[in-house]
Amino acid sequence: MNIIGKKTLFLSIAGILVALSIFLIFVFGFEEAIDFKGGTLWQFQIPQENPSVETVSQFLKSDIKEIGETVINYDLTHDTFLVRLRTTTEDEHQKLQTVIKTKFPSFEELSFQSIGPSIGANLRKNAVKAIIFAIIFVSLYISFAFRKVSRPITSWKYGVVTMISLLHDIVIPAGLIAVLGHYLGVEIDSNFIVALLVIMGFSVHDTIVVFDRIRENLSLDRGKTEFGTVINNSINQTMARSINTSLTLIIVLLAMFFLGPINLKYFTLTLLVGVSMGVYSSIFVASPLLLVWHNLTRK
């Protein structure tokens, strides 16, 4: 397969996807979960009376006015109500429970989470730090691991190219979550940050496999073959394993997505998209970029 020959096409696809994702994130923004912005997330069931969302919403508005604005969602597959409201004290929580129980006796609380805004601000700051550190340290490690490769391009360029493909791999799932957030109310929470970090740690695996082969082929070849050909050969020689290593993770993720706990659904989805993008970037983005850079500096 002549990947290097069509590198403009492949790089354009990646570039357009990344640009589109950044645009969507910019336009829609993220829906922040209560871990980041503070507030209360309340999950309960009313199995007997089984009232409609409107009924419950109306009831909360009329009978517990002081609690302020509430947003209610109903999860059909699990017959649970998800209510979002401002940060509440334990007294208010107790009052809410009592009032609802009087109206709907079969009310059963599944979970109640109330977070003050200060924790959220701190968590958000740390999340951003974690992502930046991960990008920097992984790229630095790649530069270090390839330190003995200096010809035809220096090792730190491997690191920079890794950084670019890491950004590609996390920006695209982030863009998807921004869209889902806008249309379905999907929120970003600490699990989302974890997913992005795991994507970075994992998708670089495939990139390393290709780079490793380029490193090996360069040392065997001793500069006889053109750099582009060496890269293209290396990609083709390692393509099956690049795909297979990610495929096993994708298999596990699919099982988690369809059978796993509901709370991890979007965590798994983010990972699925990110890991798939990681396969694309390791074959069609990272190595072609090496050549593009090489050609640019040669001129």
Partner 1 sequence: MQRHPGLVLSFIILVAILAAFFIFPQNFGLRNSPWRLGLDLVGGSHLIYKIDLTKVPSGDQNSVLNGLRDVIEKRVNLFGVSEPQVFLSRSADGDNLIVELAGIKDIKDAIKTIGETPLLEFKEVQGNGSSTEFITPLFTVNGAQVTLTGRHIKSAQLNFDNTTSKPEVAISFNDEGAGFFEKMTADNVGKPIAIFLDNNLIEAPVVQQKISGGQAVITGSFTLKEAKAMVERFNAGALPAPITLINQQTISATLGTNSLEKALLAGTIGTLLVMIFMVVYYRFFGVFAVAALIIYILLTLGIFKLFSVTMTLAGLAGFILTIGMAVDANILIFERIKEERKKGLAFSSSINEGFKRAWSSIRDSNISTIITAVILYFFTSSFVKGFALTLLIGVLVSMFSAITTTRLLLKAFIKDKPVSKT
Backbone angles phi, psi at 274, to 5 degrees: -60, -45
How many residues of this chain bind partner 1 (CB under 8 A)? 73
119-178 positions binding partner 1, by CB under 8 A: 119, 121-123, 125-127, 129-130, 133-134, 137-138, 141-142, 145
182-201 positions binding partner 1, by CB under 8 A: 190-191, 193-194, 197-198, 200-201
Is 247 a binding residue for partner 1 by CB under 8 A? The answer is yes
Q: Which is nearer to partner 1, 55 or 217 (CB)?
A: 217
Q: Which is nearer to partner 1, 193 or 286 (CB)?
A: 193
Yes or no: say if 187 and 256 are a contact pair by the CB < 8 Å rule: no
Non-local (6+) Cβ contacts of 142 within 8 A are 158, 159, 162, 204, 207, 208, 211
Minimum separation from the CB atom of position 284 to partner 1 (A): 19
Helices 287-298 + 190-221 axis angle, to 10: 60
Q: Give Dmax (Cα) for the chain.
A: 83
> What is the helix (H) or strand (E) element at residue 122, kind and residue range?
helix 117-145
* CA gyration radius, the chain: 24
Minimum separation from the CB atom of position 219 to partner 1 (A): 12
Is 46 a binding residue for partner 1 by CB under 8 A? The answer is no
Q: Which is nearer to partner 1, 24 or 33 (CB)?
A: 33
Is 99 a binding residue for partner 1 by CB under 8 A? The answer is no
Is 110 a binding residue for partner 1 by CB under 8 A? The answer is yes
Yes or no: say if 283 and 239 are a contact pair by the CB < 8 Å rule: yes
48-87 positions binding partner 1, by CB under 8 A: none
